[in-house]
Amino acid sequence: MYKLPVIIGPTAVGKTEIAIEIASKLNAEIISCDSRQIYKYMDIGTSKPTIEQQSIVKHWLVDVVEPDVSYNAWDYALEAREKIKEIRSRGKIPIVVGGSGLYLRALVEGFFAMPKPSADIKKRLQGESAQDLYEKLKQIDEVTANKLHSNDKMRIMRAIEVYETTGIKMSELKPQKVASDYKPSYICFTMERAKLYERIEKRVDKMIENGFVDEVKGLIKKYSPELTALQTIGYKELITYLKDKKSSPEVLDKAIALIKQNTRRYAKRQITWFKGVADVNWIDLSGKENKQTINFLVNSLQTTIGKDK
């Protein structure tokens, strides 16, 4: 059984930079495990690896589809599994890097073979409010509705789409286990909470400085702001700001503060999720030099991977 290196950790902890250093030393290629970096044109707000970074180490499953294309965890798992095989066939090492728990679970465990809804169904549902959709879902599938927040429009829509496309309730779908020839070898980066939150705030400020507002303006000129892809942290707050008729500096400051707050909350949820993953090698980056961490992990991975070849 091949051991697949999987680098996880909360947003802004420093996964990308360290993973690139590790991959360059191991002659490896990176498979992104990020549910938003798959979308084209969403670069700044997803902290997508830069062109320069991607020239150092080849990245896969970045810029896969346009924001208006339906793409889910099952789609990701299928593509990622194929890419793992293809990278290994060329004598290189695949390293999975990211923080999207659902995508990671789909890749490692197998997941629902989710049907793709028609464009007409998606368009109709997107025009309804989250509350109306939630009430509809309660009538269709009360079990799933009770697991979701009434404002979680993206997941509520998905459950209704599944039912309207297949006639099967989301709660009645069974995970499809897909056999693989690898076992994940998890490395989870962590950091003191205060330091992580400081990094988050600095990163958001850098996004704004790098033109995040203009990126969102360009996206909503081309696509509906109600798209699921755009209902994610950073994008949704700036869309609200841009819809405000005043669009004053004060309104922008409030939007930025909300992005920081929501990102901190997201990081907290990620940490909680990762604590539930078995057999994780936790690496605390607080106060450590990256070079020291990189050398340790390179040596560790060489030993681990070498045993399985």
CATH code of 166's domain? 1.10.20.140
SS3 (DSSP) at 186: strand
Burial class (CB in 10 A: 0-12, 13-18, 19+), 54: middle
Same domain, 145 and 202: no
pLDDT in tens, 169-222: 888 876 566 667 888 999 999 999 999 999 999 999 999 999 999 999 999 999
pLDDT in tens, 129-152: 989 999 999 999 999 999 887 877
Residue 143 sits at the vertex; the CA angle it makes with 73 and 76, to the nearest 5 degrees, is 0
**pLDDT above 80: residue 299:** yes
d(CA 187, CA 26): 16
Residue 306, pLDDT score:
55
For the chain, the distance separating the N- and C-terminal CA atoms, rounded to the nearest angstrom, is 9
Percent of the chain with pLDDT over 70: 94
The residue among 37, 145, 142 whose CA lies nearest residue 99 is 37
d(CA 98, CA 36): 11
Same domain, 90 and 204: yes
Q: How confident is the model at residue 305 (pLDDT cuts 50, 70, 90)?
A: confident
SS3 (DSSP) at 19: helix
Same domain, 44 and 126: no
Which residues partner with 31 through β-bridges? Answer: 60, 96
Q: Hey, CA dihedral for 156, 161, 167, 170, is it positive or negative?
A: negative
Residue 203 is part of a domain; what is its CATH number?
A: 3.40.50.300
Question: In whole angstroms, what separates CA 149 from the centre of its chain?
Answer: 20
d(CA 23, CA 305): 13
d(CA 222, CA 209): 23
Same domain, 216 and 238: yes
d(CA 80, CA 35): 12
> In total, how many domains does the chain have?
2
Percent of the chain with pLDDT over 90: 63
Same domain, 15 and 152: no
Same domain, 85 and 136: no
Residue 6, pLDDT score:
96
Same domain, 275 and 247: yes
End-of-domain residue from the set 104, 137, 172: 172
**Higher pLDDT, residue 126 or 247:** 126
Same domain, 190 and 156: no
d(CA 296, CA 293): 5
Same domain, 297 and 213: yes
Same domain, 200 and 303: yes
Same domain, 185 and 289: yes
Average pLDDT over residues 28-43: 97
Q: How confident is the model at residue 300 (pLDDT cuts 50, 70, 90)?
A: confident
pLDDT in tens, 230-241: 999 999 999 999
The residue among 112, 109, 263, 140 whose CA lies nearest residue 197 is 263
C-alpha distance from residue 245 to each of 63, 70, 170, 252 (Å): 32, 31, 39, 12
Range of the domain at 94: 2-112+176-307
Same domain, 154 and 268: no
